[in-house]
Amino acid sequence: MQITVQRYGSFLLRYLKPQKRRVLLLALLLLTTIGLKVINPQIIRYFIDAAQTGSALDQLTTAAVLFLIFALIVQGLSVVATYVGENIGWYATNSLRGDLMKFCLGLDMSFHNEHTPGEMIERLDGDVLDLAIFFAQFIIRVLGNLLLLVGILFAMYLEDWRIGLALTVYSVISLVAFNQLRSVSVPHWKAARDASSNLFSFLEEQLSGTEDIRASGATDYVMHNLYRFNGQRLQKERKAGLMNTLVIQTWIALYGVGRILAFVAGFILFQQHAITLGTAYLIVYYTDAIFRPLREITNEIQNLQKAGGSIGRIEELYKIENKIKDTGTDHLPSGALAVEFDHATFSYNADDKILADLDFHLQPGQVLGLLGRTGSGKTTVTRLVFRLYEVTHGAIRLGGVDIRMVPLADLQHHIGMVTQDVQLFRASVRNNLTFFDTTISDEAIMRVLADLELMDWFSTLAAGLDTELESGGKGLSAGEGQLLAFTRVFLKNPGLVILDEASSRLDPATEQKIERAVDKLLKNRTGIIVAHRLATVQRADQIMVLEGGHILEHDSYDALAANPDSRFAELLRVGLEEVAA
């Protein structure tokens, strides 16, 4: 991908502007160090010439001490410059990471369905890391080295234009040679990196599936593949390593040639008495000093290209349009909410209709039981109410207000949702329950836990509310996970509760606990429950059976149960679990 200089520039500007003072300081540090680096050899020249002409000892001592002081200052300033540069890089990339994360979290769910977590991590961190190097080092290395190069060449021209010219030609040839070499070796490095990333993604996949691999006896297959990936990596690494040696050898050769030329030129000019011995030394010194900037500039060009790729990908990400616009300003009424689906139609992808023309009304405080075969669209209905996706036609209204007119934060505040699989985060129990809302007191949490009969579980926690939970809720039973999710909803006290019941079976004791919790949860609230068990369905005022995205039947519980021809009556007869699943 080709990135224009302007785009690099605007990117740099956007993240460096807030750190103007730090950048200015860095520039100052760099200029000072470069100046000192160019001047310092002049002191040695003075020293050599003065020693030759038999100057007084204290003059020589002054020169030597001055040289040492300058050298120390250069070292000291270099450390400070690197520190400031790294800081600039980290500040810039951290705020970039923040921007990207915020942007991605705000994108609608269809975006997250299309992009795997691994891909997002690579975007949020891998790309940004490349940029960190760009931010932190590009300025120091490229600009600094370019300036140093120019400074040295300038100083040489001042001495003798022929030497200046020779050194310029040498610099140009070296730069071209380095660049050529780089373009030969980079593809090999890329291949080596690809091979190792293949190996790691293989390892990651296999390790996360350890349980299944063992159970299915696929260990041999895994080991075979491991050897294969390892072999490929070795091959690529070896090639890349060889290429690297070649590059280094060429550097050394060029360096040697430069030194020889400097010595020869210095020697000849000195013989002809065109220059002093000190100046001859100066030539050798500058030729030496010019080598590092040349090499570093070449390296940085590679970083620049990497950064270019990252900037391209980041810009691409920013171009993705959020399908869900958070522009509403209306507010939902407090208390139990009425729910209305007004001819709502929806599909995940343009071609297949998941829900077609859904039309129903639910009074505040009523409970709707949602039934249907697996894949009939029950979970999809709940996602639409929460506005994780947008209806393609029709509208959904809560308490008479179109949900598109309500700020998303307001919507989240008024709806409590318990999904089929509860997500627990790697954080303390308290934060898992309050979602980092610090206004909720510990007493309130404890009250709800007691209310939901979770005290037995709570008493097993080593550090009470401060106990850290493992990500994914490891160490919790499915029932406990569900009850914790209920606790969250209670603490939020919403007007509408959506309960997508887990289809996994629980032991009877836990099931009863959950039943009691659901009863409490639905008190004085409107509820939509996707039920897989008879006990859960029985508390519904209305029953809706979905099939293939249509409403197959929808009526009050009693009416449907009393009608022997209804699907619901049939479900009740045969048992919910058997037919609905």
Residue found under tokens 């039309």: 359
**Residue 201: CB partners within 8 Å, gap ≥ 6?**
118
Q: Which is nearer to ligand ATP, 118 or 375 (by Cβ)? A: 375
- 57-106 vs 20-52: helix crossing angle, rounded to 10: 160
348 binds ligand ATP (CB under 6 A): yes
Are 14 and 99 within 8 A, CB to CB?
Answer: no
Q: 398 forms bridges with which residues in the sheet?
A: 339, 401
70 binds ligand ATP (CB under 6 A): no
Q: Least distance (Å) from Mg ion to the CB of residue 532?
A: 9
Q: Which is nearer to ligand ATP, 401 or 502 (by Cβ)? A: 502
Where is 350: in which H helix or E strand? none
Q: Which is nearer to ligand ATP, 243 or 370 (by Cβ)? A: 370
Neighbours of 46 (CB within 10 A): 20
Alpha-carbon distance of 295 to 318, in angstroms, equals: 35
State residue 493 phi and psi, 5-degree precision. 50, 65
Which 8-state DSSP code applies to residue 136?
Answer: I
379 binds Mg ion (CB under 5 A): yes
CA neighbours closer than 13 Å in the CB half-sphere of residue 484: 26
Q: Which is nearer to ligand ATP, 377 or 527 (by Cβ)? A: 377
Range in contact with ligand ATP (rule: CB under 6 A) among 96-104, 253-261, 370-378, 505-513: 370-378
Binding partner of residue 314 among ligand ATP, Mg ion, none, CB cut-off 5 to 8 Å per kind: none
User: How many residues form the binding site for Mg ion (CB under 5 A)?
Assistant: 1
* Pairing of the two strands 542-547 and 367-372: parallel
Q: Which is nearer to ligand ATP, 380 or 487 (by Cβ)? A: 380
Q: Least distance (Å) from Mg ion to the CB of residue 548?
A: 15
Q: Which is nearer to ligand ATP, 354 or 491 (by Cβ)? A: 354
378 binds ligand ATP (CB under 6 A): yes
Q: Least distance (Å) from ligand ATP to the CB of residue 380?
A: 3
DSSP 368-418: EEEEESTTSSHHHHHHHHTTSS--SEEEEEETTEEGGGS-HHHHHHHEEEE
SS (H, E, C) 41-61: HHHHHHHHHHHHCCCCHHHHH
369 binds ligand ATP (CB under 6 A): no
**Residue 489: CB partners within 8 Å, gap ≥ 6?**
416, 417, 418, 497, 521
Binding partner of residue 354 among Mg ion, ligand ATP, none, CB cut-off 5 to 8 Å per kind: ligand ATP
User: How many residues form the binding site for ligand ATP (CB under 6 A)?
Assistant: 12
Q: Which is nearer to Mg ion, 225 or 379 (by Cβ)? A: 379
Q: Least distance (Å) from ligand ATP to the CB of residue 552?
A: 12
Q: Least distance (Å) from ligand ATP to the CB of residue 376?
A: 4
353 binds ligand ATP (CB under 6 A): no
Alpha-carbon distance of 147 to 31, in angstroms, equals: 8
Binding partner of residue 374 among Mg ion, ligand ATP, none, CB cut-off 5 to 8 Å per kind: ligand ATP
Range in contact with ligand ATP (rule: CB under 6 A) among 70-78, 139-147, 376-384, 535-543: 376-384
CA dihedral 371, 376, 381, 383 (to 10 degrees): 120
188 binds ligand ATP (CB under 6 A): no
Q: Which is nearer to ligand ATP, 293 or 377 (by Cβ)? A: 377
State residue 402 phi and psi, 5-degree precision. -60, 130
Q: Least distance (Å) from ligand ATP to the CB of residue 369?
A: 13
61, 208, 363, 374: residue in contact with ligand ATP (rule CB under 6 A): 374
380 binds ligand ATP (CB under 6 A): yes
State residue 411 phi and psi, 5-degree precision. -60, -45
- Give the interface with ligand ATP as residue ranges (CB under 6 A): 113, 348, 354, 372, 374-380, 420
- Give the interface with Mg ion as residue ranges (CB under 5 A): 379
